[in-house]
Amino acid sequence: MDAHPHRHDDPEHCRDILAQLNDYLDGELAASLCRELEQHLAECPDCQTVYDTLSRTIRIYRALRDVPAHLPQGVEDRLMHRIKVSLNMEKT
């Protein structure tokens, strides 16, 4: 028995589904398209993996975006120095 029942007979359909994931996760996808996407995800383990990874990444980003980043002492100064040096190199 095949561990992946979906054989990607229509890889273009997978691409179309994956192109809609951001709108789906943002709640901006039409209800009829949501049902189609959810049905596809239930049948396609590869697309389900992409969905799971993207949704976890978004949850982590949203959880961390409001947490101020504290850089170790001196990192910001060194970073700004490198940016300035890099910009000066581009001018020459």
pLDDT for residue 68: 75
Which of 19, 20, 57 minimizes the C-alpha distance to 35? 20
pLDDT for residue 31: 94
Residue 1 has pLDDT above 50, yes or no: no
pLDDT single digits (tens) 29-48: 999 999 999 999 999 999 99
Domain residues of the chain, as ranges?
11-91
Helix axes 45-64, 11-19, angle to 10 degrees: 20
Enter the tokens of residue 21.
Answer: 């994931």
